[in-house]
Amino acid sequence: LYIRHGFKVLTPAKEWKYQIFTTCFNSEFYTPGKDICDKCSAFKVLETFRRMSNEDQQLKQNHYTERMTFRLQRHIDTNNNDSSVLLISFDLENVFSLSPNVKQTKKGYNAIWIESTPSRSSNDLVSGVNHILKQILIANPMASSLILWPDSCIAHNRNKILSYAFQHLLESSTQLTNITYRYCGPGHSNIQDVDNLYSCIENI
């Protein structure tokens, strides 16, 4: 934009004019970062202003222990060489694009819908998850167990609709015997394989 503006105006803009946008307005320029855990951010603020009480220290330690437990379990699941077990990570991007990724086959799937048709309710997301899991089982006839790692979206976490869908899938499938659903803490989901999948989609 500055180069285009320069062709029209012979006198280049001064630096103070540029600084107006970063000092007088509620805007700034920065390199986008990864998702940040709210609890970690709160603890960082308390440490910066030296307001950490003993109770806060204990909460921070508990949160750190929980985070490392997630990471260790993810590492164990990722290095599982059992061919009958599929590790599936999935994430919800921009509200209406759900893309699971199967670690063993390095194959991605996608469920996408427009905002005007349904919404982001549990029914809509569970329908997408259920359909994709059926396609994954068809593509992997030797699989008998699924380990699912979702992101922290509330609509497909800890609800009875999702539990019923998994129960129905287990009862209707002749090859599936077990579904393990792991939960991550917000900001510590560790599902980079899905982020890589979204990156590939966006670059098409």
Res. 20: pLDDT tops 60: yes
Average pLDDT, the chain: 79
- Beta-bridge partners for 84: none
pLDDT value of residue 123:
78
Per-residue pLDDT band for 139 (boundaries 50, 70, 90) equals very high
| pTM reported for the whole predicted model | 0.71
Average pLDDT over residues 88-111: 80
Tokens of 84: 């009958």
pLDDT number for residue 138: 93
pLDDT score, position 171: 92
pLDDT one-digit tens code per residue, 160-185 = 888 888 899 999 988 999 999 887 77
Q: What is the pLDDT of residue 21?
A: 66
According to the model, what pLDDT value does residue 190 have? 66
Q: What pLDDT shows up at residue 195?
A: 61
